[in-house]
Structure 1
Amino acid sequence: MEWSTSNKNNRKMTVINGGHFSNLAGFYDEVSSVLMKDADWKVGTLDGFDDILYGGFGVFENDEEIEMIWKESQKSEKDLGFDATRSFYENKISQGKPFNIDLIQHKLDELVSGKGQTLFDILVEIIESHQNITLILD
């Protein structure tokens, strides 16, 4: 991932490179390497990823305008697609508590029926939920 200041509206720009990872753990490493480079912890959960996007303790401040470019997003969409998502949910179900097994089973059932979100979809939704971040899938 790269980090720089863009000339457009003084908006900071970051690049997630889908060529640098092929699974969710790799995605977390990619985002941690730049967004959290001076922090004591690394991203390791979907909630943690959402938290760092609020800013204030990584490399950008709260509500700072950010342009995030996800290079090789089609590769990531496949890597973090149906199979990876099914494994993600099945792993949580097999671990049991503290996970809400009924909720996770429901999400897995939705995925299998073609109605659920993949990990890629969830990550995109998390990014897009932050009004100060513009996501560009490249």
Structure 2
Amino acid sequence: MLDGTQIRTLENFWQAIGEAINGPGGYFGRNLDAFADCLSGGFGTPDDDDYIIEWRDHQISREYLGHPETARQLEILLSRCHPTNRPSFSARLAAARSGQGETVFDWLVEIFEDRAPGVLRLQ
């Protein structure tokens, strides 16, 4: 179970999902690619293939993981990305700063849906 009242940043999400799946201090990805890999199986997923992750109070997380947090994350990614990717990240950053485009919350939900359909339950 994920407590949406405690997930205010992407870093909070990494900690919460790690602990929800693998207990205190548990790991279940610390970036979007690693998270997607973990959801695909073999990297700490529960042995039971029918596991469910409840994200309670997800609307609170949705607000915190909105455009301001997305802009913050894109700034981090922009500082690390390959020069050929900078125009794309800059455009996404500009959109996030103006309250447009996908948010961090959207990214996470999309990864759940792509890699582990039916696992996420938004409460």
Q: TM-score range by the shorter chain?
A: 0.7 to 0.9
Question: Measured at CA, do residues 96 and 50 of structure 1 come closer, stay the same or move farther in structure 2, by a change above 3 Å?
Answer: closer
CA 1:41/1:98 → structure 2, altered by over 3 Å: closer, same or farther? farther
Output the amino acid matched with 2:106. D
Alpha-carbon RMSD across the aligned residues, in angstroms, is 2.7
Q: Which has the higher contact order (CA 8 A, sep 6+)?
A: 2
Q: Secondary structure of the equivalent of 1:87?
A: helix
Structure with a larger share of its residues in helix: 2
Larger Rg: 1
Aligned to 1:8: none
Contact 1:85/1:118 (8 A) holds in 2: yes
Percent identity at matched positions? 28
Aligned residues: 122
Contact 2:2–2:17 under 8 Å retained in 1:
yes
Q: What residue is the counterpart of 2:121 in the other structure?
A: 136
Tell me if structure 1 keeps the 8 A contact 2:2–2:53: yes
Q: Structure 1: which 5+ residue stretches go unaligned?
A: 1-14
Counterparts of 1:39 and 1:59, CA distance in 2: 15
1:92–1:101 Cα contact (<8 Å) kept: no
Contact 2:66-2:104 within 8 A present in 1 as well: yes
Task: Return 19-28 or 104-113, whichever deviates more.
Answer: 104-113
